[in-house]
Structure formats: structure tokens, C-alpha cells
């Protein structure tokens, strides 16, 4: 079964008032798209092509003007208010460019947070017995931060903060992870670390959708969809034209080059 299924998704913004003059912006013009469990998808496209609009709909932060969106078998357009928010909290793990961690809260507590909203889900009855803290610690270990549980965000590197955010996104075991320019605030080394973490998680079965402007980052995913003027203009599996790159290998290579460079500098 598809995790995500979009049929004829449209989003129009009606600009009212004196300034708007009744103009309608057609941000999405009928998007058909589906994703299976275990995919790693990049959403690309030039500025204004509709990426954020599509992300907001995929993330159940906004509703389409028309069309149907099934998420994990649920027709999201039929839910409103609390039910819509519940789908969002249970089914989607968000990762943003700005990590959005609570500053005066440890890594462990940041990751625990979504579990406080996680009640009454039958699928999770086994896990509910597990202590919240244990679950949060388990996910932090999964992202390689088992030795940073009690650090505050300010005591972590940018890449580590983003890993806490990724752990927080995964703690509820969502249907998919929705990442919006997740490495936009990170340097090359941290970017490669985060991309190799995403690749690891994906190899272990996590479904990931990532918006990015950068083709180099899209090359780490396994499928690239491209928007233009509100339409899906290309949907390309990795390997058709350019094979997906391995972020871990690139990280090793980058470190080698970097050590070489700084070695040269020291030798001058």
C-alpha cells in the first residue's frame, strides 16, 4: 500500500481585499504522485514552483483546494480540526532547517516531547508500556547520540542538534519523515553526516521526503520529483540518469581531502 497518494492536488490562493483585487494564484495545478514505504524522495524545483505549498499539504499543515490526499490509507481531506492535527502528530515526523529545539531542555527531553501527545494509538500498545525516557534514549542512540542525552542544544554542534531533531521526528514511529532543507544551516561536513544518517535510516526502512534546492543533496536520495509552475514535470528514480551517491563515502573522502589540505597548510 502506498504511504502517500496524491490525486489531482490543487492549491489556489485567492488574494482578497483592495490589494489582491480578486486575483487567484494557482500554486499547485493538479499533482498526481504516490510513494511506497521505504522510499527516499527529494522534492526539487525553482523558487515559486510550489515546493513549500506541497510540503504544507503533505505535512497536513494546509489543505488542498481540490484533489485527494491519502496518508497511510487515511483520506486526510475528510478530517478537520483535532482529527487533522492528530494525523499530523502521529503520522509525520518533521525536520526543519532551523532545528526548532527547546533551548532550556536536554536532548532527551526534546525527543521525549512528542510522546506526551501520543495517546490512544492502538498500534503502539506494546511500546506504550516502555518508559518514555527509554524510548527517547533508544532513538537518540539510533542517531548516534547515546552519549549526549543530557546535553542542552547550546552544548551540541549544529549537526548534533539536527540529529536530535531527527530523533524527535522519529520517536513516534511516523509513517514518514518530512524534511524541509534539513541541512540549510550546516557546513559541508555536517551536511554529509546528516545525509548519511538519512541514508542509514532509509536503509532500515524509514520513508523520507526531503525538499531541497541542491542537486548534490538530491543525489543522495533514491527518487527525485521536480515541480515547475505548480506542476510535477519530472519523476526520476536514482540510477536512471545519475546514480544515488553514498554520503558516508563522500564524508570519508571529504575528511581525507580536508586533512590533506590542512596538512599542506601546516607544512607551508
Ligand X SMILES: Nc1ncnc2c1ncn2[C@@H]1O[C@H](COP(=O)(O)OP(=O)(O)OP(=O)(O)O)[C@@H](O)[C@H]1O
Binding site for Mg ion (CB under 5 A): 51-52
58 vs 166, which CB is nearer to ligand X? 58
Q: 202 contacts which partner out of ligand X, Mg ion, none, CB within 5 to 8 A by kind?
A: none
What minimum distance in Å lies between the beta carbon of 243 and Mg ion?
27
Determine the interface stretch with ligand X among 41-49, 83-91, 122-130, 259-267 (rule: CB under 6 A): 41-49
Q: 88 contacts which partner out of Mg ion, ligand X, none, CB within 5 to 8 A by kind?
A: none
3-class secondary-structure state, position 142: helix
Determine the interface stretch with ligand X among 42-50, 65-73, 194-202, 260-268 (rule: CB under 6 A): 42-50
Determine the interface stretch with ligand X among 48-56, 88-96, 113-121, 167-175 (rule: CB under 6 A): 48-56
What minimum distance in Å lies between the beta carbon of 17 and ligand X?
12
51 vs 135, which CB is nearer to ligand X? 51
Determine the interface stretch with ligand X among 50-58, 72-80, 142-150, 187-195 (rule: CB under 6 A): 50-58
Three cell numbers at 47? Answer: 523558487
Q: Nearest to Mg ion by Cβ — which residue?
A: 52
Cα-based torsion angle of the residue sequence 257, 141, 152, 100 in order, rounded to the nearest 10 degrees: 80
11 vs 245, which CB is nearer to Mg ion? 11
* DSSP per-residue letters across 125-139: HHHHTS-HHHHHHHH
Listed residue (192, 188, 145) closest to 165, CA to CA:
145
Residue 13 binding ligand X, by CB under 6 A = yes
Pairing, β 208-211 against β 40-44: parallel
Beta-strand ranges (E) seen in the chain are 2-15, 23-36, 40-44, 66-71, 74-75, 92-95, 176-180, 208-211, 223-228, 231-237
Q: Can you state the percent helix, strand and coil of the chain, rounding each to 5?
A: 40, 25, 35
Q: 50 contacts which partner out of ligand X, Mg ion, none, CB within 5 to 8 A by kind?
A: ligand X
What minimum distance in Å lies between the beta carbon of 126 and Mg ion?
39
- Within positions 18 to 37, which residues make up the interface with ligand X, using CB under 6 A? 25, 27
CA distances from 145 to 50, 108, 172, 197 (A): 35, 10, 18, 12
Task: List contacts with ligand X (CB under 6 A).
Answer: 13, 15, 25, 27, 45, 47-53
Amino acid at each position: 500500500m502506498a504511504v502517500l497518494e496524491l490525486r489531482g492536488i490543487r492549491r489556489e490562493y485567492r488574494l482578497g481585499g483592495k490589494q489582491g483585487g480578486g486575483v487567484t494564484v494557482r500554486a499547485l495545478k493538479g499533482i498526481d504522485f504516490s510513494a511506497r514505504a521505504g522510499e527516499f524522495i527529494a522534492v526539487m524545483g525553482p523558487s515559486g514552483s510550489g515546493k513549500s505549498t506541497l510540503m504544507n499539504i503533505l505535512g497536513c499543515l494546509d489543505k488542498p483546494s481540490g484533489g485527494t490526499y491519502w496518508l497511510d490509507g487515511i483520506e486526510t481531506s475528510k478530517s478537520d480540526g483535532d482529527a487533522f492535527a492528530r494525523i499530523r502528530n502521529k503520522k509525520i515526523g518533521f525536520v526543519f532547517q532551523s532545528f526548532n529545539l527547546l533551548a532550556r531542555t536536554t536532548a532527551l527531553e526534546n525527543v521525549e516531547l512528542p510522546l506526551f501527545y501520543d495517546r490512544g494509538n492502538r498500534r503502539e500498545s506494546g511500546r506504550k508500556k516502555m518508559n518514555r525516557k527509554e524510548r527517547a534514549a533508544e532513538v537518540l542512540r539510533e542517531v548516534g547520540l547515546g552519549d549526549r542525552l543530557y546535553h542542552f542544544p547550546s552544548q551540541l554542534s549544529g549537526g548534533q542538534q539536527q540529529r536530535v531533531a531527527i530523533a524527535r521526528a522519529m520517536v513516534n514511529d511516523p509513517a514518514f519523515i518530512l524534511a524541509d532543507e534539513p541541512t540549510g544551516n550546516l557546513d559541508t561536513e555536517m551536511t554529509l553526516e546528516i545525509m548519511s544518517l538519512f541514508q542509514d535510516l532509509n536503509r532500515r526502512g524509514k520513508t523520507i521526503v526531503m525538499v531541497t534546492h541542491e542537486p548534490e543533496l538530491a543525489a543522495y536520495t533514491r527518487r527525485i520529483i521536480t515541480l515547475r509552475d505548480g506542476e510535477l514535470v519530472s519523476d526520476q528514480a536514482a540510477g536512471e540518469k545519475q546514480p544515488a551517491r553514498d554520503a558516508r563515502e563522500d564524508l570519508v573522502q571529504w575528511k581525507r581531502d580536508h586533512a590533506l589540505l590542512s596538512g599542506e597548510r601546516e607544512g607551508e
